Structures are given as structure tokens and as C-alpha cells.
Structure 1
Amino acid sequence: MSILINKDSKVITQGITGKTGQFHTRMCRDYANGKNAFVAGVNPKRAGEDFEGVPIYASVKDAKAQTGANVSVIYVPPAGAADAIWEAVDADLDLVICITEGIPVRDMLAVRNRMREENKKTLLLGPNCPGLITPDELKIGIMPAHICKKGRIGVVSRSGTLTYEAVAQLTELGLGQSSAVGIGGDPINGLKHIDILKMFNDDPETDAVVMIGEIGGPDEVNAAEWAKDNMKKPVVGFIAGVTAPPGKRMGHAGALISGGADTADAKLEIMEACGIRTTRNPSEMGKLLKSVL
């Protein structure tokens, strides 16, 4: 068991012929079961060719029909990325992971609304996310694999670099991870903290969870309130942006304080009230998690 992906996932890279797509497909194939998992690439202009032995197809539907793929990862430039997401959703894949940063909000709004209207089953991770990893099985995206270690702690984060920080701390403490998931920092994205918490809650191989959030939006608060009533496992939390000034976008497109409840202090307070132990020091995330086991 793991969440979202495992060694048996079959993965398509959309944008496999671009520099970023090539580099990260290569890195992912070199990790654990990546060689067997990455079964196809998509580029309409290069169909029939291959990238280092990975066949390239004209469309996601073609790639799925030929290889049985159930997951896609997207390294398509921002202008075409929303269309790439829809193409994968329309092919009824189980999971689409969009790494691309800088997709226009209007484009994402259109895709999300269409996914809802047509009641699509595909789960979307991202955009503007580092992807995810199930250690010793499979990584999809841009996370550094060398800091990961098989273990029983789940990690879910809106921040890419803080995901790596938490993972590295857990590895250093000898705890390791069941899966680590970066949900991305855009204002309109797919899976939220609450969705990933539910999956970790149901996963028999996860004992506890590190949840990392940022200023802006209600996601962390929604997750904390759900966890208070439903979570059977300990959760510890960190919110980036304690010193952020209101009204100024910080790093991620979604990291913008617009109201009272989306400051770091307000989120930390609500999380604590919901039984989630928190720290204001990102270097303490691993130690805090160890203390609740």
C-alpha cells in the first residue's frame, strides 16, 4: 500500500521532448522501479519516435491505449499546460501531475470547471508542484530522491522546498516516509491538504503525517477541521509566512494574505485548536513529528 502511486503505476510524460521533460523523465527512470513505470511520452509532432527507449505518441489517448498507462506527468510550457491537463483528464487517467509553474489562473479555472461539469474521475496534483514520491518504489516529478527513505511517515506540502526539508529531516532521524506529496502553490489546483490527509488516514502503512502549509487560502484550516473529527493518526504542522506582509504575494501565486483567517498565525492557531501540534521553526519539523509518535 501507498497513496496515489506505487511500483506498478504506468506513467506518461507529456512534454517528454522538451529539456525539462527529458531531464526529469531520465531522473525518475533512474530511481527504483522507474525504468518499468515510465511507459510513454506524448508530443503530437514527434509521434512514432522514442526518447531513450520510451515510445512517443501523438496523444494521451493513444499512449493509454497502447501501454495501459494510468498516470501522467506534465512538463508543458504554461501557455499549453491547461490544455495538456485536460487532454489527460479527458483520457480518463487515474492521476495527472502538473509540474508547470505560471499557468494563467483563467486557464486553470476553465479546466477545473470543466472537470466538475463533466464529473471526471481523474485526480489532479498541482499545477506548480514538485510531484510525489513513494520511496523505493517510484518518483514522479522533480523531488530529489536521494533524501528519501522508506518509512511510515506521510508528508503533504504546498511548498516544494519545504517538502524536501521535511523529508530530509525525517530521513536523518531514521524515520523515513510512506509517501511525500507536493500539492503545489497555485490558487487553483487539484488535490488539497484535506484530500491527502484522508488518503494517509486510510493507508495502513502510514503512522503519522507532516502537513506543511503557507499563507493564503483556506486549505490548511479545512484540513485541520476535518482532522480534528476524523484523523486517527497524529499530525504535526508548519505554516510558512509568519513574517509575510498582508496584500503582498510571497513566492507562490496562492500565497497572498487577503483576509484575517489566511495569515500564518491564524492558521497555526486553528491547527493547534484542532489537535495538530505545530512549530514556527522549519528546522524542527522532524523532531516535532518524532515527539508525537
Structure 2
Amino acid sequence: MSIFVDSNTKVVYQGLTGSTGRYYGLLNRDYGTNVVAGTNPKKAGTDVDGIPVFASVADAVAETGADTSCIFIPAPGVKSAVMEAAEGGIKLIIVITEGVPAQDEAWFFNKLKRDHPDVRLLGPNCPGLISPGQANIGITAGHIAKAPVDGEISVGIVSRSGTLTYQALYELQQQNIGVTTCVGIGGDPVPGTSFIDCLEAFEADPQTSAVMMIGEIGGSAEEDAAEYIATHMSKPVAAYVAGQTAPAGKKMGHAGAIVSGGKGTAAAKMEALEAAGVKVGANPTECGELMVEIVKNL
């Protein structure tokens, strides 16, 4: 099985007619993702390499049955694009765009929770997610992910870091370990989907036997995840926390990756995870090696 998306997921791309949206929309379709529509009010009635373009998400949902949106809209338009998707009937909104103002993120995060509680938001500033062999939505390279094989142990991945998401996938592929779903939750201060959301879904997924978790400095998401793992997870977890040498007070890469007031350090996160029984690697490769050992012992 997988979490959040599978071969039946129908995706509309908001921004399909732009260069980046077109590139990844077609790449995702070539992977096997069911890309059913794009949106652009000025280009409604046209198509992008056979994918129909509609004036709005609501029109796309009505005509194609789309249930998922992938947003490649420039940052200033993301707020309205997210709400258009939710109000148009989409149940999973994936925002790839980086640089979305934190105020906008907080606004539509809370707006969705209040007015559209059945809608899941992933991102902003994330690589998307891939259920190998079924669907790839976003910017992850599909060829680095191994699909699950019936009768073999499969692993789920959740990561705040885009690049390390890809390394985690590749580390497992090199060891011939299949992945049920890999979720990049993004590194912004207000992510729509959290570590805990993904851990809960992986815990409930019968095909996922273990979880690899990639964290980074800043905030308390990893400590919160550690508490959840200690009290709710029966499946083993291996983890890596990026930013172990980051100086305090300096933003490192992601908008949310900053150590402030002595909080959010990699050391504190690693300590919390280890106390919860998580196998924590000193680097991404070691994290992959720890997962190999976990799989061997299952």
C-alpha cells in the first residue's frame, strides 16, 4: 500500500502552462502519475501535450474528477491558489513553490483547518511526494526510488529536507529496499503536513514496516515527533538530523532552519529521538545503514 497518493490519484497542476509546471507535470505524467488537468484562466480550452487546461480548479474537478492539486504558482499567488483548490473540491494540495510569505502560510494553514478540515496540505517549499511505481507528484526524480515488492520489507520516508529526501530514497534503492511512500514535508516555518501526520499514516499502513525520518535544525517538530514515536509507534524508526554544525542565529537553507535562543539545535533533537528509541545516524549514509540493519532484523 501507500499513504496519501496511489495509482488512482487524479492530479491537476496549477501552473501547468508555465515552464516549470509544464516540465514537472509532463515528467510526472511520464512516470505514470494520473495527470488529468492544468489550470490557467487565460488559456482555458487549450492543452499542454494533451493535458486539458481549465479556467479554474472547480472546472477541472467537475470535468476530470481530480482530487489532488500540485501548485507551481509563483509565491505571491500561492495563497489564492491554495484556497481556489480547497474551494474547488480538492482533497490534497501539494505546494512546491518556495518563498511563500510566512504570514500567507499561517493564514491559509489556519483557514484550511477551520473551513476545510478534510483537506490535506503538503508544503509549501517541498519536493512533493512519491509512492514508487504508482504516483510521483512534485520534483522528486522517480528513477531513484524503488517500488515495494510483495513479500519483501518496505519502508516509508518522511523528510523536511528536499535534497536529503532524494539521498534517503537512493540509499535504500542501493540496498534493494522498496519504499511505500516518500513524503517531503518542506522546511518552512508553517508546514501543512507534519512529521506526526506522516508517522501516524505509516503506522497505520500494513505494507510499511519501518520509517526513515530526516529532520533539521529549527523549531520543535523533531522533538514533537520523538514524543509521538515513544507513545504511539510500534514500527522501528531510523533518523538523521541535518545542521549539526550550524551556528546559532543564522538561517541555514530553509526558512524554518534556524537555531534561536538555544532551542532547535540538532543535538537536542537527536537526544530526544534517541530517548524515544529511534536509531539516529551521524550522517545520511549512516542513517541508511541503520535502516538496512532494521530491515534485516524484521
Q: TM-score range, shorter-chain basis?
A: over 0.9
3-state SS of paired residue (1:174): coil
Instruction: Please tell me whether residue 206 in structure 1 is matched to residue 203 in structure 2.
Output: no
3-state SS of paired residue (1:150): coil
**Equivalence for 1:8:** 8
CA shift at 1:261, angstroms?
A: 3.8
**Equivalence for 1:232:** 234
CA shift at 1:119, angstroms?
A: 4.2
Of 113, 116, 122, 2:113 maps to: 116
CA shift at 1:260, angstroms?
A: 3.3
Pairing of 1:1-293 with structure 2 (within 5 A): 1-31=1-31, 33-34=32-33, 37-151=34-148, 152-293=154-295
CA shift at 1:258, angstroms?
A: 1.5
Aligned residues: 290
Which letter does structure 2 place at the counterpart of 1:79?
P
Using the TM superposition, name which of 57-66 and 106-115 deviates more: 106-115
3-state SS of paired residue (1:46): coil
Whole-angstrom CA distance in 2 between matches of 1:259 and 1:276: 26
CA shift at 1:116, angstroms?
A: 2.5
Q: Which runs of 4+ in 1 moved over 2 A?
A: none
Whole-angstrom CA distance in 2 between matches of 1:167 and 1:117: 35
Deviation per residue, 1:60-82 (Å, 9 max, x gap):
11110111110000000011012
3-state SS of paired residue (2:235): coil
Whole-angstrom CA distance in 2 between matches of 1:221 and 1:261: 11
Deviation per residue, 1:55-111 (Å, 9 max, x gap):
111111111011111000000001101211111122231200000000111111211
Whole-angstrom CA distance in 1 between matches of 2:105 and 2:232: 30
3-state SS of paired residue (1:44): coil
Q: Is the 8 A contact 2:61 2:89 kept in 1?
A: no
Which letter does structure 1 place at the counterpart of 2:110?
N
Whole-angstrom CA distance in 2 between matches of 1:285 and 1:192: 20
Q: Is the 8 A contact 1:169 1:285 kept in 2?
A: no
CA shift at 1:117, angstroms?
A: 2.6
Q: Is the 8 A contact 2:86 2:116 kept in 1?
A: no
Q: Is the 8 A contact 2:248 2:262 kept in 1?
A: no
Whole-angstrom CA distance in 1 between matches of 2:201 and 2:117: 19
Deviation per residue, 1:218-245 (Å, 9 max, x gap):
1111111011111111001100000001
Whole-angstrom CA distance in 1 between matches of 2:116 and 2:168: 35
3-state SS of paired residue (2:24): helix
Among all aligned residue pairs of Structure 1 and Structure 2, give the percentage whose two residues are the same amino acid.
49
Q: Which runs of 5+ in 2 are unaligned?
A: 149-153
Q: Is the 8 A contact 2:94 2:123 kept in 1?
A: yes
Using the TM superposition, name which of 3-12 and 92-101 deviates more: 92-101
Whole-angstrom CA distance in 2 between matches of 1:119 and 1:30: 32
Whole-angstrom CA distance in 1 between matches of 2:169 and 2:35: 24
Q: Is the 8 A contact 1:89 1:120 kept in 2?
A: no
3-state SS of paired residue (1:207): strand
Change (3 A) 1:276 1:259: farther
Q: Which runs of 5+ in 1 are unaligned?
A: none
Q: Is the 8 A contact 1:78 1:104 kept in 2?
A: yes
Q: What is the CA RMSD across the aligned residues, in angstroms?
A: 1.0
Whole-angstrom CA distance in 2 between matches of 1:165 and 1:219: 21
Q: Is the 8 A contact 1:158 1:183 kept in 2?
A: yes
Q: Is the 8 A contact 2:128 2:139 kept in 1?
A: yes
3-state SS of paired residue (1:30): helix
Whole-angstrom CA distance in 2 between matches of 1:201 and 1:250: 31
